[in-house]
Amino acid sequence: MPSRWLFHVRFSLLPRFSSALRNLIREGKSYQIYSVIETGHQYGMQAMDRILADLYRGDQVLSEEAATRAIDHKNFNRLMKEY
């Protein structure tokens, strides 16, 4: 996964996941952060690729623009096919 992480989190949920994220960073396991974010999706955490797919589905952005901003293109394409 790329080292640039862009995601949206409801601030009330941050304490629940911040310790897990801190531990991953401390242990040098930043490659697992995306998995924690996806797991936290049910609690409001969203990876940038999911937000872009939602914006596309809501006709707020063109698919080409969303694709150029995606972090993980393979995952983004999978999310786009879900809609």
Sign of the alpha-carbon dihedral angle for 75, 38, 50, 22: negative
Whether residue 1 is contained in a domain is answered as no
Total-model pTM: 0.64
For residue 68, the enclosing domain spans 7-82
Give me the pLDDT at residue 11, please.
Answer: 46
Give me the pLDDT at residue 15, please.
Answer: 57
Whether residue 56 is contained in a domain is answered as yes
Whether residue 48 is contained in a domain is answered as yes
Whether residue 73 is contained in a domain is answered as yes
Report the distance separating Cα 16 and Cα 6, nearest Å.
18
Give me the pLDDT at residue 16, please.
Answer: 62
What is the block-wise mean pLDDT of the chain (83 residues), using blocks of 10 residues? Answer: 46 61 85 82 81 91 92 90 79
Tokens found for residue 73: 């293109």
Give me the pLDDT at residue 6, please.
Answer: 46
For the chain, what is the domain count?
1
